[in-house]
Amino acid sequence: MTDVPADHRSGDDDAFDLSLLSRESLACGRSVDDVLEQATEGRGAELDEHQSTCPHCQAALREFKALWNPVTEYAERPVTLPPDFATRVMDRVHLLVRDVWYTMNVTDLGAVRVAARIVGRIARDAARSVPGVRAVLGRTTHGRMVDLVERATRGHLHPHSAVGVLGQTAAVDLAIAVRYGDPVHEVAEEVQRRVNQRLREAITMQAIVVNVTVDDVIHHPR
Amino acid sequence: MSRAASRLPPVQRVVVVLHHFEGLPYAEVAQVTHSTVAAVRSHLFRARRTLAQTPQEWR
């Protein structure tokens, strides 16, 4: 490695200067990201005209390839599943589907459940926090996620159900009335955003679908 | 290395696994993640810098 340019070296004579990875470009001006991409994509030997004479690029390509070798070796290792993998997955699936009225977060310490009505309450309150909005839980449209949750959960076959939960997924239907003159789409999107944010913060849900139907306007002085 | 990968932010971890471990091209990673090729490349740029600096003892 005696031909590595001095600006790629750290104080240790044998060590590549890793601080180069926090810089935007090599000393020759080439983008570090582009050269790193070239090395990690296995194109380190495909030198363009500049690289064929540039010691900075050549040294960086060689060193990046060496730094990336553990990733390459790791990716090539065969994946072996534990013998009881399928059983463990299905046990979790059965556990999820059994708890149709609760969210479910399985951790190493046990299971955390939150009742679907709590999800609905939080969603409704979040929607009502948008100025000028009146909101009720209610079924108005059928999103894809709602259908999936319904199919998997017997408890949600009730036609007036407005909240569907399964595991860390929730689907909420909200019907809202907006103030006359307010931009309807913007208000509806703000409702979706706030409900999504509040549910993520409050219950750590991973996937949330918020279906909003605007079905009324409210006339009142501003 | 799995420890290093598991410490990446979720989005970066997903694109690294799909592209570098599973061998999906950028376009397919973008399709799977409902993203764009430019966004996938951007996440990979950051992830590569992190992984390339993985401490030797973790490897």
In this structure, of A14-23, A98-107, A190-199, the range with the lowest mean pLDDT score is: A14-23
Tokens representing residue A49 in the block: 């005209």
- More confident position, A206 or A54: A54
> For position A97, what pLDDT does the model report?
66
Name the token pair of A160: 């007036």
Residues 6 or more apart whose CB falls under 8 angstroms from that of A208 comprise: A169, A170, A171, A172, A195, A196, A199, A200
Interface of A with B in 35-74 (CB under 8 A): 36-37, 40, 64, 67-68, 70-72, 74
Q: Which residue of A has its CA nearest to B4?
A: A71
- Chain B contacts of A72, Cβ < 8 Å? 20
Cβ-contact A62, B46 below 8 angstroms:
no
Rounded-to-integer distance, Cα B46 and Cα A32, Å? 11
Q: Rounded distance, CA A133 to CA A138, Å? A: 15
pLDDT at A99: 66
DSSP A79: P
Give the DSSP letter of residue B46.
Answer: H
- What's the full length of chain B, in residues? 59
> B15 near B44, Cβ under 8 Å?
yes
Predicted pLDDT at A3: 45
pLDDT tens, position by position, B2-55 = 778 888 888 899 999 999 988 899 999 999 888 899 999 999 999 999 888 876
Q: In terms of C-beta density within 10 A (0-12 exposed, 13-18 middle, 19 or more buried), how is residue A104 classed?
A: buried
**What was the pLDDT predicted at A139?**
53
pTM: 0.49
**How many beta-carbon pairs below 8 A join chains A and B?**
39
Check CB contact of B59 with chain A, cutoff 8 Å: yes
Pair A114, A103: CB distance under 8 Å: yes
Task: For residue A195, name the pLDDT band (cuts at 50, 70, 90).
Answer: very high
Residues of A in contact with B54 (CB under 8 A): 70
Least confident of A9-13, A89-93, A177-181: A9-13
DSSP summary character for residue A130: S
CA distances from A71 to A15, A22, A182, B19 (A): 19, 19, 54, 12
Q: What is the pLDDT of residue B58?
A: 53
Beta-carbon contacts of residue A207 (< 8 Å; ≥ 6 apart): A145, A168, A169, A170
